[in-house]
Amino acid sequence: MTVQVRQDDDSYELSPRYLVGCDGGHSVVRQQAGIAFPGSADPEVLRMGHFRAPEAAGLYTNAGLDVPGFGRLQRGWNRTPRGAVLAMSLQPGVVIAGVREPGEAPRDKASLTLPELQASARRVLGGELPLGEPIWLSQVVVQGRLAQRYRDGRVFLAGDAAHLFPAGGALTVGLPDAVNLGWKLAAALIDRADLLDTYEAERRPIAKRALLQTRAQAALTQAAGDNGVALRELLGELLTYAGPLRHLVALMDGSDRRFDTIPGGHPLTGRFVPALPLKSFLRNGKPILLDLADRPAVRAIARRLARRSGHSPVRRPPNGRPAGPSRWLCRVGRRRT
Ligand SMILES: Cc1cc2nc3c(=O)[nH]c(=O)nc-3n(C[C@H](O)[C@H](O)[C@H](O)COP(=O)(O)OP(=O)(O)OC[C@H]3O[C@@H](n4cnc5c(N)ncnc54)[C@H](O)[C@@H]3O)c2cc1C
């Protein structure tokens, strides 16, 4: 495998052991690897930007913003019969504004201009959205796609190159892709341990679930008229119950998925760590091995890992035991001198 790199006036070739395509939705790596990217585009364009707008403090404090010709714009998404407008602020003086409206795929993300965004807001709101000086502007066609495979031999895909979602949450899936793949590539290079097939097995089903929930989100936000209002109101009622709310949150953050690492193992194996009192042990950012069954073999593996990484042997927790079924907390930390 040969990769051509062009940087400024420089151009050179690399022959890497592995190649990861994190080159976005139009991924050249994915296309070159011949990996299909099935899905669909909504007939909707999202135009967005960040703006310096000190006068729009009401979007930071939740008071909203007066828009001449429209009325009061609420913090968050505001629906109109012609689309939706986002107006919010997460830091004083900086406004995040966006407009979704029916339209064609834009030429490219970076080609959006302030007058184009303002014109879009005018069409959707029927009023003049007061935007300050743009910090950045971007536009995308709203689409949902999932790569047919995440791996082709020594080529891998991660992030938008592997999946596109028609509603928010792309980073919740894309960043853990990189976390999942990174240490497995390191293990393959350093240890010759081949866990690389587990990358697709673990991450692709999560993206598939994310596609399910973001498609549903898109349908909910797009549903127009009285029927759309009724649909959103009814779903809002359902989400006042803890069960449906918990189900949806776990679906959105990917914690409903269990990696089947040890078939028939402990119910917590392969899941996100639940609410255990681990805070003091996580402070130094070092790996922690939790053995819920107090098995000598696991302790031996932890000691071996600790030795190899130059860290101290496994220790019992200094203060009491973790809650629930946990009986041992094995910590792999830096050796005390
Ligand atoms: C307007 C907008 C708002 C968004 N809001 C949110 C949000 O609120 N929450 C959220 O979770 N997500 C959001 N997203 C999505 C989020 O930005 C993306 O999911 C995320 O940036 C994807 O990261 P990535 O690294 O996979 O791809 P990208 O961010 O697309 O990065 C790909 C990189 O590869 C480079 N590249 C591409 N081709 C080549 C090549 N041939 N050679 C060399 N380099 C190349 C590009 O220049 C780029 O730097 C938003 C996106 C947009 C456009």
pLDDT tens digit at each of 337 positions of the chain: 999 999 888 999 999 999 999 999 999 999 999 999 999 998 889 999 999 987 777 777 878 888 888 888 888 889 888 899 999 988 888 999 999 998 877 777 778 999 999 999 999 999 888 888 999 999 988 899 999 999 999 999 999 999 999 988 899 999 999 999 998 999 899 877 788 999 999 999 999 999 999 999 989 888 888 898 899 999 999 999 999 999 999 888 888 888 877 777 777 778 887 766 665 556 666 666 767 667 788 778 777 776 655 444 444 544 544 443 333 444 444 444 3
Q: Hey, which residues does 332 pair with through a beta bridge? A: none
- Cα distance between residue 180 and residue 280, in whole Å: 24
Output the ligand 1 site: residues, CB below 6 A.
22-24, 28, 48, 109, 138, 140, 159-161, 168-172, 174
Where do we find the tokens 């796609």?
A: 145
Ligand 1, atom 35, residue with closest C-alpha = 23
Q: What is the 3-state secondary structure (H, E, C) of 66-121?
A: EECCCEEECCEEEEECCEEEEEEEEECCEEEEEEEEECCCCCCHHHCCHHHHHHHH
3-state helix, strand, coil in the chain (%, to 5): 35, 25, 40
Amino acid at 101: E
Looking at the CA of residue 170, tell me the nearest atom of ligand 1. 11
Domain boundaries, the chain: 3-37+147-192, 39-145, 279-331
The third-level CATH classification (topology) of the domain covering 39-145 is Alpha-Beta Plaits (3.30.70)
Length of the chain (residues): 337
**Cα 137 to ligand 1 centroid, rounded to whole Å:** 13
Ligand 1: centre distance to CA 195 (Å): 27
Q: Find, among 86, 167, 179, the residue nearest to 125 by Cα.
A: 86
- Residues 6 or more apart whose CB falls under 8 angstroms from that of 44 comprise 83, 100, 101, 102, 103, 141, 142, 222
Place of tokens 């050796």: 335
∠152-155-157 over CA atoms, to 5°? Answer: 95
If one counts every other C-beta atom within 10 angstroms of the C-beta of residue 331, the result is 24
Task: Give distance in angstroms: CA of 160 to centre of ligand 1.
Answer: 6
Q: What is the DSSP string of 207-271?
A: HHHHHHHHHHHHHHHH--HHHHHHHHHHHHHHTTSHHHHHHHHHHHHTTT----SSTT--TTTTS
Among 7, 22, 86, which is best to mutate for testing ligand 1, by the most ligand atoms less than 8 A from CB? 22
**Kind and range of the H or E run holding 47:** strand 39-52
Query: Which CATH code is given to the segment(s) 3-37+147-192?
Result: 3.50.50.60
Residue 280: what pLDDT? 59
For 132, which DSSP code?
-
Predicted confidence at residue 325, as pLDDT, reads: 36
Give the ligand 1 atom nearest the CA of 98: 1
CA distance 49 to 54: 15
Give the number of C-alpha atoms closer than 13 A to the C-alpha of residue 202, restricted to the C-beta side. 22
Rg of the chain over all Cα atoms, to the nearest angstrom: 24
pLDDT at 39: 97
- Measured between alpha carbons, how far is 195 from 184 in angstroms, rounded to an integer? 6
Please state the pTM of the whole predicted model. 0.82
For residues 272 and 314, give the distance between their C-alpha atoms in angstroms, rounded to a whole number. 22
pLDDT at 294: 72
